[in-house]
């Protein structure tokens, strides 16, 4: 068992067993951090949402949702876990050790969430809240709402003008399974448009078609003035 090491983490554990459990992957046996990760996921999401709500007073619900998703994604939490050197402290089974589990995003993100839950169980709500706010304050303050994707922007433009929403039709797909190409059409009733899009996934093709349709509609609107 690894000795208790002081984390680069804004909490001093009173119960070393909670700390150890939070850093124990299921491959190392029981007790492990799976249940703690479940609780920590909710705690991180709620506390980050509260912080964003306070710091971005002009952001609407959609903006806040996108910002929270960006901050609590597996990749973002894994990056934070690396900054805290959690990978060096994880308890892993031999298989995970050999395959580099201490570097894997999913394992690092789960350990971070488990550690937040451990803080909550170790010292209560206020200690957990203080800890999460300290870890995320700078990230939340610097974050800007990511731009809405083309499909969302097209939908909002049409809705604002009282027009029907676009329909996306899969025209064809071709190529081997590992290199498929999808051709779709974005169909708008008013103004009457059928705009093609091609991508390596159906979603990517739809986004490209929506982007082209959006530009065409904006040009039509500008010409109306």
Over residues 14-25, the pLDDT tens digits come to 998 999 999 999
Cα–Cα distance for residue pair 19/66, rounded to 1 Å: 31
Does domain 150-224 bear CATH number 3.30.160.20?
Answer: yes
Q: Which residues pair with 193 in a beta bridge?
A: 188
3-class SS shares of the chain: helix, strand, coil, % to 5: 60, 10, 30
Residues of the chain with CATH 3.30.160.20: 150-224
Beta bridge partners of 186: 168, 195
Residues of the chain with CATH 1.10.1520.10: 16-142
The overall average pLDDT reported for the chain is: 88
Per-residue confidence (pLDDT) for residue 5, from 0 to 100 = 44
Identified catalytic residue from 41, 96, 122, 206: 41
For 65, the token pair is 């949702």
Answer CATH for 16-142 from 3.40.50.720, 1.10.1520.10, 3.90.1010.20, 1.25.40.10:
1.10.1520.10
Residue 87 near residue 99, CB atoms below 8 Å: no
- Which of 37, 96, 113, 206 is flagged as catalytic? 113
The reported pLDDT for the residue numbered 9 is 77
Is 41 catalytic? The answer is yes
113 has catalytic annotation: yes
pLDDT tens figures, 130-165? 999 999 998 888 887 666 788 988 998 999 888 889
Confidence of residue 3 (pLDDT cuts 50, 70, 90): very low
Cα distance between residue 24 and residue 32, in whole Å: 5
pLDDT at 145: 65
Task: Dump strand ranges (E) for the chain.
Answer: 167-174, 181-188, 193-199
Q: Please tell me the pTM assigned to this model.
A: 0.65
Rounded mean pLDDT, 10-33? 90
Quick: pLDDT tens for 46-88: 999 999 999 988 888 888 998 999 899 999 999 999 988 888 8
């Amino acid at each position: 068992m690894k000795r208790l090491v002081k984390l680069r983490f804004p909490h001093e554990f009173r119960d070393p067993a909670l700390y150890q459990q939070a850093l124990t992957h299921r491959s190392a046996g029981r007790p492990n951090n799976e249940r703690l990760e479940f609780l920590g996921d909710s705690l991180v999401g709620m506390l980050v949402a509260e912080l964003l709500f306070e710091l971005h007073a002009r952001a609407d619900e959609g903006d806040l949702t996108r910002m929270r998703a960006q901050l609590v994604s597996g990749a973002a939490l894994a990056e934070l876990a690396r900054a805290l050197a959690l990978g060096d402290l994880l308890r892993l089974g031999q298989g995970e050790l050999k395959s580099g589990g201490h570097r894997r995003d999913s394992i690092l993100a789960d350990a971070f969430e488990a550690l937040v839950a451990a803080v909550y169980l170790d010292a209560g709500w206020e200690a957990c809240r203080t800890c999460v706010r300290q870890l995320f304050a700078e990230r939340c303050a610097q974050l800007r709402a990511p731009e809405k994707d083309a499909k969302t922007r097209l939908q909002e433009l049409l809705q604002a003008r009282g027009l029907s929403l676009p329909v996306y039709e899969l025209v064809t797909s071709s190529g081997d399974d590992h290199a498929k190409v999808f051709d779709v059409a974005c169909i708008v009733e008013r103004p009457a448009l059928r705009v093609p899009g091609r991508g390596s996934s159906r979603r990517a093709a739809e986004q490209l078609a929506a982007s082209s349709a959006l530009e065409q509609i904006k040009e039509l609107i500008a010409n109306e003035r």
